[in-house]
Chain A
Amino acid sequence: MLEVLFGNQNTERILFTLLLSKKCYAKQLADRFEVAVFGVQTTLQKLERAGVLISFKEGNTRLFEFNPRYPFLLELKQLLKKAYEFLPKEIKDKYYEPIIRKRPRRTGKPLQ
């Protein structure tokens, strides 16, 4: 949808993911969208260099999030929100809003 504006599909996927999930990392996105990690990393780094994203290391993982100091962040998010509304429900459910348990689970508790 915004792929043409952003130049590639990875950018759209990254930005939609961040809009919904606040944080992301390359491997997570590569697994979710079944694409090469390298391509995702390249796009994440491009967005970081452009000042759209920032990154932090957490353990061995480099987490990316929107740069709160990006001067067009508000407008970008508005555009993304509008575009996201137009995504088919199946795509939203599959890629951006899968049901993932977020509440804690005690270490060692058996899965049922």
Chain B
Amino acid sequence: MKNINLKKITIKDLAKIIGAQLSKHGIEAVLVGGACVSIYSENKYISYDLDFITYESNKKIKTALKEIGFEYDKKKYYIHPDCEYFLEFLAPPIAIGNQPIQNFNTISSNLGSIKILTPTDCVKDRLAAYIHWDDKESLEQAIIVAKVQKIDVNKIKKWAQEEFNGEKIKDFIEKLSI
């Protein structure tokens, strides 16, 4: 950590460093949300917010992250004075709609490793936001990931059918095939 310049770090590398630090303290966490979109889209979408989900206590997380200079602020984020990214720990479970998520990808390098939503679940996560709140930005993010990564479109269609009667998923399929 001493030789790493946090001012110029990529979101992917930061996620791995955080993963390694948490793991050192016995904390298992999964990266979710916009950071997954950033990583899978190879920064076509930029997120400065790394959302993690863990079942461990805030006390344990605070101790682990303080060691590498990330402090808990009053707004419930972990911030570092040299780093433009901020970290947040969301309440479990890891779910998309009514479905618990059990399978993840792991990204790793010599910096460390972190579990992350699969590209298909990342797309589902964004589509859920689009469907619930009509958030066009979430739809765009889903499309960006779907175009760059290999995703299971049939699985997404089945999920959308079960959760939302297939409503609005057509927008995604149409835009994907353009």
CA distance A71 to B100 in the complex (A): 8
Closest to A54 in B: B133
* A71 to B91 alpha-carbon distance, docked (Å): 12
A69 B91 Cβ-Cβ under 8 A: no
Interface residues contributed by chain B, number (CB under 8 Å): 13
Are B90 and A51 neighbours in the complex by a CB distance under 8 Å?
yes
- Contact mask for chain A residues 26-42; partner B; CB cutoff 8 A; 1 contact, 0 none: 00000000000000000
CB of B166 within 8 Å of the partner chain: no
Closest residue to A73 on the B side, CB-wise?
A: B98
The answer, among B76, B99, B100, B129, for a CB contact under 8 Å with A49, is: B76
Overall SS of chain B's interface: mixed
Given that A69-B97, A71-B97 are known contacts, is A50 also in contact with B91, CB under 8 Å in the complex? yes
Q: How far is the CB of B129 from chain A (nearest CB, A)?
A: 8
Q: With the chains together, A71 CA to B99 CA distance in Å?
A: 7
Interface of A is mostly: loop
Tell me how far the C-beta of A18 lies from the nearest C-beta in chain B, rounded to whole angstroms: 16
Query: Counting CB contacts under 8 A, is B128 at the interface?
Result: yes
Closest to B100 in A: A71
Of the residues A49, A68, A71, A74, contact of B93 by C-beta under 8 Å: A71
Please determine whether A51 and B97 come into contact, CB atoms closer than 8 angstroms: no
Q: What residues of chain A lie closer than 8 Å to B100, measured between beta carbons?
A: 71
Binding site for A on B (CB under 8 A): 76, 90-91, 93, 95-100, 128-129, 132
A sample of 18 inter-chain contacts (CB < 8 A) reads A49-B76, A49-B91, A50-B91, A51-B90, A51-B91, A68-B132, A69-B96, A69-B97, A69-B128, A69-B129, A69-B132, A71-B93, A71-B95, A71-B97, A71-B98, A71-B99, A71-B100, A74-B98
